[in-house]
Amino acid sequence: MSKQFDKDLLRLYMMGAANPSGGKVQYSSAQAVDLHMDDDGYTGGKKDEKYILEHQIELFEKSIDQAIASGKSELRIIHGNGKGVLKKEVHKLLKRHPHVASFDDAHHPKYGYGSTVVYFF
């Protein structure tokens, strides 16, 4: 039985840019962080959207701080498409961040418009 797999996704996973482990901050030579969340930390019941957004923003802020502290010149934030709530919040915070020179949400072959590249001073 032969299984099909996406070579590009495998490459991104091996580099750490694709994040099957959910919302854990992961870096690679691709300088990307995936803000998607998995089911860790949930014990039954409905997932609270406010909690999820707060957790994602916390991960975002930590990843920005770590990227700046390690001297990175850019970082790709993978926020996904969804309803656009996380993307709007990320962009709002990036506009006010003193170490962000600019950011761009141009189409990416793998993430579509579900990611933003951040450029630091």
Please give the mean pLDDT across all residues of the chain. Answer: 79
Domains of the chain (ranges; CATH) run 7-120 (3.30.1370.110)
Please report the pLDDT score of residue 101 as a whole number: 95
What tens digit of pLDDT does each residue of 67-106 get?
Answer: 999 999 999 999 998 899 999 999 999 999 999 999 998 8
Please report the pLDDT score of residue 39 as a whole number: 59
Cβ neighbors of 110 (< 8 A, separation 6 or more) are 8, 9, 12, 18
What tens digit of pLDDT does each residue of 23-42 get?
Answer: 444 444 448 999 987 655 55
What tens digit of pLDDT does each residue of 35-66 get?
Answer: 987 655 555 556 778 888 999 999 999 999 99
d(CA 80, CA 109): 13
Buried-state track 78-99, b at ≥16 Cβ within 10 A, e below 16: bbbeeeeebbebbeeebeeeee
